[in-house]
Amino acid sequence: MSTESRTSQPETRDRILDAAERLFVEHGFEGTSMRMITGAANANLAAVNYHFGSKDALIQAVFRRRLTALNEARLAALDRLEAEAGGSPLKPSRIVEAFFGTALALAADTEHGGNLFMRLLSRTYNEPNAFVRQFLAEEYAEVMDRFLGALFRALPGVPRGEVMWRFHFMMGAMSFAIAGIESVHAMAGMPYEADDPSKLLPRLMSFLLGGLRAPLPEFGATDPD
């Protein structure tokens, strides 16, 4: 049994990853049991521990499989921008698009489950689970460094602390953009007009760039009006 089983199912390892990804989105990490995963993957209960070692290791594998590719695509997009610019400073809008556009492209991929993963990832930024946070921080270190550096150079007049905060705010907006396509309707009783997912990126980009370019806050005054 090298690539395909007796039936034409994918490898057990991949079936487990797919099932786990979907179930983590629906029920969270702690709300998803090994039996749910192996059941949905048509695998034996012991298969997770055999292929991955533990549940925590499986969680990491689910993330690594997609996150590595996503962040490499982000870095490649930034590389391309910097190569085109040839030393001259980048436009902030291009940097933002390289980071968030790449993410939303994956979130729009319903074919290979990228949308599921992005919903999982969005939620996990606020995950209390200690080792997941640690893992995400490591996985994001290089990308954050590169993109924040690019933004610092693109916005030389803006204090770095403000840039970082605004980048953080943008991450929040993106998180809700991805995770909340249905929650926004549920909360507001919206008619749910079957939003075109392709409209999400322009919508989000307008908002993000408006926020990024906004006048800097004035901390002193209490009522600037």
Partner DNA sequence: ATCTCTTTCAAACGTTTGTTTGAATCATAC
Partner DNA sequence: GTATGATTCAAACAAACGTTTGAAAGAGAT
Residues that bind its own copies (CB under 8 A): 25-28, 30-31, 93, 122-123, 125-129, 133, 136-137, 140-141, 144-145, 148, 161-162, 164-177, 179-180, 183-184, 186-190, 193, 195, 198-199, 202-219, 225
CB 121 within 8 A of CB 62: no
Quote the least distance from Cβ 21 to DNA, whole Å.
15
Quote the least distance from Cβ 167 to its own copies, whole Å.
8
Quote the least distance from Cβ 76 to its own copies, whole Å.
19
CB 120 within 8 A of CB 103: no
- Rank residues 58 and 208 by Cβ distance to its own copies and give the closer one: 208
Residues making contact with DNA (CB under 7 A): 1-2, 5-6, 11-12, 32-36, 43-51, 54-56
Q: Which residues contact 17 (CB under 8 A, 6 or more apart)?
A: 58, 61, 62, 65
Q: Which helix (H) or strand (E) holds 13?
A: helix 12-27
- Rank residues 37 and 95 by Cβ distance to DNA and give the closer one: 37
**Rounded distance between C-alpha atoms, residue 205 and residue 121, angstroms:** 19
Q: Which residues contact 76 (CB under 8 A, 6 or more apart)?
A: none
Question: Which option in DNA, its own copies, none does residue 83 bind, with CB closer than 5 to 8 A by kind?
Answer: none
